[in-house]
Amino acid sequence: MSAKNAFYAQSGGVTAVINASACGVIETARKHSDKIGKVYAGRNGIIGALREELIDTSLESLEDIAALRHTPSGAFGSCRYKLKNLEENKREYERLIEVFRAHDIGYFFYNGGGDSQDTAYKVSQLSEKMGYPITCVGIPKTVDNDLPFTDCCPGFGSVAKYVAISTKEAAMDIASMCESSTKVFILEVMGRHAGWIAAAGGLAGKNSTEAPHIILFPEIPFDRDAFLTRVDECVKEFGYCVVVASEGAQYEDGRFVADAGQKDAFGHTQLGGVAPTLANMVKQSLGYKYHWAVADYLQRAARHIASATDVTQAYAMGQAAVEFSVNGKNAVMPIIQRESSKPYKWTVGEAPLSQVANQEKKMPIHYITDDGFGITEECREYLAPLIRGEDYPPYDDAGIPIYVKLQNTLVNKKLRSDFKV
Amino acid sequence: MSAKNAFYAQSGGVTAVINASACGVIETARKHSDKIGKVYAGRNGIIGALREELIDTSLESLEDIAALRHTPSGAFGSCRYKLKNLEENKREYERLIEVFRAHDIGYFFYNGGGDSQDTAYKVSQLSEKMGYPITCVGIPKTVDNDLPFTDCCPGFGSVAKYVAISTKEAAMDIASMCESSTKVFILEVMGRHAGWIAAAGGLAGKNSTEAPHIILFPEIPFDRDAFLTRVDECVKEFGYCVVVASEGAQYEDGRFVADAGQKDAFGHTQLGGVAPTLANMVKQSLGYKYHWAVADYLQRAARHIASATDVTQAYAMGQAAVEFSVNGKNAVMPIIQRESSKPYKWTVGEAPLSQVANQEKKMPIHYITDDGFGITEECREYLAPLIRGEDYPPYDDAGIPIYVKLQNTLVNKKLRSDFKV
């Protein structure tokens, strides 16, 4: 049997280290040229497969592929696109097979979160259900840290580091100013369903008397009165109050705090912003001067302050995916298994895609303090190693990081038909 | 004459490098013990002088003082407090003299922006107008980069670097996602009156075809239609549009874009947020999916990615202030003089406080492109050296920067009277 080509795609929200996984896939595949031919990357993820827009990574230099390790974002483009069930949209699967066959693709590496692992699982069934043999391995990625089985998700550690450091720096700023100016600072971070990222803000302080004084988790129903009472207590006790709020903070009835009825001048509901909403509450109820920040994409793109642990693990997951595939494993996803926290030790394990798909790992409730506003020691022990180490990108003479931009040359199309996505 | 003590205070919004100036002051003063006794720092700036809350920096170790160089925020506390004119509030000046005399203070170093240099100038007049001899030297600091005479202001370069890098990283993120998701990203940055910080976002790209595609300056009246037209053009041409908006972006009539009529559910005007306001315009007029971020304190506190040029200059300004004072100069402020841009060369100069006070340096109009949405080559040439070089803080094993927290021991009060501030 001659070496089959591989298809690699990035899926869902990109991260500071998803390209490190891509680097791991491509560099490892190049070492297994007896089994894997070329690595084609989907232009804009799985959409690239459906449109037959395949990027030939073999045309990229060794240096450029190596530079993926320190380049944030998705080098080949990503997408938010979820394949339906085989029964619901057989047309898409037939198209995939058509494209895979045309380009002699025998390996499928899908780099993404829960939805993406679901897609990877569906593709892995092509072999059985539609008679097209393909080796299918998922690669975990999500800043939300909500995949099951794996101890953590590549992408999370770097966001966590960014949020912890940003919280610390902003807290020091407000501490300097609070005597005569700002009393309350609110940082809004990602995490619509799980509070992992907000929890990482807790690493800015060593304990509950240090900022951040309040963390708002999606897991804990938002209680306006309790929140305002605590803000007031902190200002009186410490002189200021630092809040890290998950964008997913919500009331008991499931309404997002961010959606709590703000309207613009035209009467349209104003979308988003748990931080300004909370700031407004503080202003109206307590009258304190406030500042707020919304980190948004900055947090997940912040390769300049990536966690070395995270970069290493992201690369290792890409590498392991390829090694699994050449060793005959199928329909699996490499995972990170924690052997110990002190000292931090981890190994690469595996989980079956059938069980990974569409499961969400919430924060354990014992990671949150009884008052609902902080993280426990157990949580600190879990989080701390994930933000350990700095993995700085190189910089140019102008003071800007040198991130690689690949050629991204498309393979000539072999199919006559287009496919609308 | 025995050595007189010195009073040093931090004033106004703190920065990533104002402590580097403090480090320069204290380390240099320690070398001139024949002329300068102890350096007392005002607890929370000038308020500390009025309240007789003086921090004895001689009790801090060499290591801790050295660590100020890589520690953001104001290590002694800052304040927003502007002395009135001598004629309007003689009581305050009499109190300053009372405190200075009680603690044998003969040097006054005031580290701040325009308002603060005005205060420093007023204090320098004590000598003449109230018969208390004091040597008074201002130290420039402001992220807004709006002080006159000096080529740039310590604090600005690091914000500029943060904004340039954050813009680049977020732009790469949205470029990865735009095929099937977010099309417009808006980053709100500081600068209520001057567009220097927004301009720095322009360094994320090499020219006008690279992100950011639109910069909104306070200097250019905001034109809603022109803005939306340009956003639409960018999305059609590049697939996405990245906007860096100054918080001070305003309409022709001086209304801030951020204040443009948003009300909450209770009918109260919703404060702030040019980014969400612009995002809402984009959504309503063009229908594009958007993301927005507000960097707020994160940008000016981001010591983790400080500009090496900025750190060096901040230290040099503190050092020069002390050297000026021991060489008999009075009522001056050290400044940064650019000798050349390529290669970047600068020297320390000086400006009289009488002329620095209350002047604001706007962006030259030829630094902004004709369409009002970008920066010119001349602007790039000015900005580029200011963000050059990385000056990383040390990190602990937990992956968090090691920023110093001083003892901040107060000197025993010698005066019986309190002074309410």
- The reply to whether residue B297 touches residue A294, judged by beta carbons under 8 angstroms, is no
> Closest chain A residue to B270 measured between Cα atoms?
A280
Q: Which residue from B143, B150, B163, B132 is spatially nearest to B78, judged by alpha carbons?
A: B143
In CATH, the number for domain B156-301 is 3.40.50.460
* pLDDT of A33 strictly over 90: yes
Nearest to A165 among B161, B273, B401 (CB): B401
Q: What is the reported pLDDT for B83?
A: 87
C-alpha span between A386 and B398 (Å, rounded)? 9
Picking from A173, A181, A251 by the largest number of B CB atoms within 10 A of its own CB, the best residue to mutate is A173
Residue A269 pLDDT exceeds 70: no
This model of the complex carries an ipTM of 0.97
Q: How far apart are CA B116 and CA B122, in angstroms?
A: 10
Out of A161, A166, A307, the one facing B298 most closely (by C-beta) is A166
**pLDDT surpasses 90 at B183:** yes
Interface of B with A in 333-392 (CB under 8 A): 384, 387-390, 392
Candidates A118, A144, A146, A391; catalytic one: A144
B117 backbone dihedrals φ, ψ, rounded to 5°: -70, -30
What pLDDT does A268 receive? 47
The mean pLDDT value for B167-195 works out to 96
Contact B265 A265 (CB under 8 A): no
CA angle B374, B376, B378 (to 5 degrees): 150
Give the residue, B195 or A271, on which the prediction is more confident: B195
Residue B125 has pLDDT above 50, yes or no: yes
Predicted confidence (pLDDT) at residue A262 exceeds the cutoff of 80:
no
**Per-residue pLDDT at B191:** 92
With CA atoms as reference, the chain B residue closest to A157 would be: B399
Structure confidence at residue B259 as a pLDDT band (50, 70, 90):
confident
Residue A174 has pLDDT above 50, yes or no: yes
pLDDT at A84 over 90: no
Instruction: Answer yes or no: are the C-beta atoms of A108 and A127 closer than 8 Å.
Output: no
Alpha-carbon span B169 to B163, nearest angstrom:
10
Q: What is the mean pLDDT of residues A215-242?
A: 97
Mean per-residue pLDDT for A346-369? 92
The verdict on a CB contact (< 8 Å) between B170 and A294 is no
Is B325 within 8 Å of chain A by CB? no
> A266 to chain B: which residues are within 8 Å by CB?
284
Helix ranges (H only) for A42-136 are 46-50, 62-67, 90-102, 114-124, 126-130
Most confident of A352-366, B273-287, B379-393: B379-393
The verdict on a CB contact (< 8 Å) between B297 and A170 is yes
**Closest approach of chain A CAs to the CA of B103, in angstroms?**
23
pLDDT digits (tens, 9 = 90+) for A139-149: 999 999 999 99
The residue among B257 and B208 whose pLDDT is bigger is: B257
Hey, of A47, A53, A80, A177, which one would you mutate to test binding to chain B, going by the most B CBs within 10 A of its CB? A177
Q: Are the Cβ atoms of A47 and B180 closer than 8 angstroms?
A: yes
Closest residue in A to B173 (Cα) is A73
The answer on pLDDT for B97 being more than 50 is: yes
**A284, closest residue in chain B (CA to CA):** B268
Q: Which of B155, B152, B197 is nearest to B21 (CA)?
A: B155
- Which residue, among B18, B159, B173, would best test binding to A if mutated, counting the most A CBs under 10 Å from its CB? B173
On the question of pLDDT at A272 being above 80, the answer is: no
Tell me what pLDDT residue A360 has: 82
A237 at interface of B, judged by CB pairs closer than 8 A = no
Of A177, A283, A398, the CB nearest to B388: A398
Rounded Cα–Cα distance for residues A143 and A140 (Å):
10
pLDDT in the model for residue B262: 55
Cβ atoms of B42 and B55 closer than 8 Å: yes
Name the residue of chain B whose CA is nearest to A161's CA.
B399
Mean pLDDT of B24-43: 98
> What's residue B89's pLDDT?
87
Listed in sequence order, the residues at least 6 apart from B27 whose beta carbon sits closer than 8 Å to its beta carbon are B65, B66, B319
Q: DSSP alpha helices (H): ranges in B239-351?
A: 274-286, 297-301, 308-326
Q: What pLDDT does A265 receive?
A: 46
Name the closest residue on chain B to residue A292, using Cα atoms. B296
Max avg pLDDT among A281-285, B70-74, B190-194: B70-74
Q: Is A283 on the interface with B (CB under 8 A)?
A: yes
**pLDDT tier, B82 (very low <50, low <70, confident <90, very high otherwise):** confident
The CATH class of the A4-141+305-359 domain is: alpha beta
Residue A163's nearest CA partner among A102, A194, A205 is A205
Residues of B in contact with A204 (CB under 8 A): 400
Residue with tokens 């070329």: A38
Q: Which of B166, B264, B294 sits opposite A294 (nearest CB)?
A: B294
Q: Which pairing describes strands A184-189 and A135-140: parallel, antiparallel, or unpaired?
A: unpaired
CB B303 within 8 A of CB B393: yes
Per CB-CB distance under 8 Å, the chain A contacts of B207 are none
A-contacting residues of B 186-215, CB under 8 Å? 187, 203-204
Residues B265, A262: C-beta atoms closer than 8 Å: yes
Measured CA to CA, the distance from residue A311 to residue B193 in angstroms comes to 40
State how far the Cα of B85 lies from the Cα of B62, in Å rounded to an integer: 38
Size of interface A-B (CB pairs under 8 A): 251
Per-residue model confidence (pLDDT) at position B1: 55
Residue A225, chain B, CB below 8 Å: the answer is no
At A271 the pLDDT is: 47
Output the pLDDT for position B412.
97
Residue-level pLDDT at B62: 98
Whether A326 shows a pLDDT value over 50: the answer reads: yes
First-last CA distance in chain A: 34
For A40-76, how does the pLDDT look when each residue is reduced to its tens digit (9 = 90+)? 999 999 999 999 999 999 999 999 999 999 999 999 9
Give the one of A176, A204, A400 whose C-beta lies nearest to B168's C-beta: A400
Residue A359 confidence (pLDDT): 79
Please report the pLDDT score of residue B244 as a whole number.
98
Distance from CA of B120 to the nearest CA of A (A): 19
CB contact under 8 A, A395 and B397: no
Nearest CB to A297 within list B74, B165, B173: B173
**Residue in B164, B169, B403 nearest the CB of A72:** B169
User: pTM of this prediction?
Assistant: 0.97
| CA-based nearest distance B44→chain A, Å | 7
- State CA B79 to chain mean position distance: 14
Cβ contact (<8 Å) for A301 and B177? no
Contact B399 A390 (CB under 8 A): yes
Q: What residue ranges of chain B are covered by domains with CATH 3.40.50.460?
A: 156-301
Residue B264 has pLDDT above 60, yes or no: no
Cα torsion for A189, A213, B247, B333, to the nearest 10°?
Answer: -130
Cβ contacts of B292 on chain A, cutoff 8 Å:
272, 294, 296
Residue A285 touches partner B, C-beta closer than 8 Å: no
Considering only the beta carbons, identify the residue of B172, B203, B303 that sits closest to A301. B172
Residues of chain A with CATH 3.40.50.450: 4-141+305-359
Is A126 within 8 Å of A93 (Cβ atoms)? yes
Closest CA to A246 of A190, A162, A185: A190
Q: How confident is the model at residue B146 (pLDDT cuts 50, 70, 90)?
A: very high
Tell me the mean pLDDT in the region B398-408.
97
Q: Which residues of B are catalytic?
A: 144
Residues in A 102-121 with any Cβ partner in B closer than 8 A = none
- The residues near A299 (Cβ < 8 Å, ≥ 6 apart) are A143, A159, A162, A163, A166, A189, A190, A197
Structurally, what CATH architecture does the domain formed by B4-142+306-358 represent?
3-Layer(aba) Sandwich (3.40)
pLDDT at res. A260: 60
Is A170 at the interface with chain B, CB within 8 A? yes
* Residue closest to B152 by CA, chosen among B379, B338, B296, B22: B338
Every domain of chain B with CATH number 3.40.50.450 lies at: 4-142+306-358
A175 CB neighbours in chain B (<8 A) are 73, 77
A166 interfacial to chain B (CB closer than 8 Å): yes
Q: Look at A172 and B80 and tell me if their CB atoms are within 8 Å.
A: no
Please give the residue that has the higher pLDDT: either A420 or B95.
Answer: B95
Of B79, B180, B294, the CB nearest to A79: B180
| C-alpha to C-alpha distances, A132 to A95, A301, A415, nearest whole angstrom | 12, 37, 18
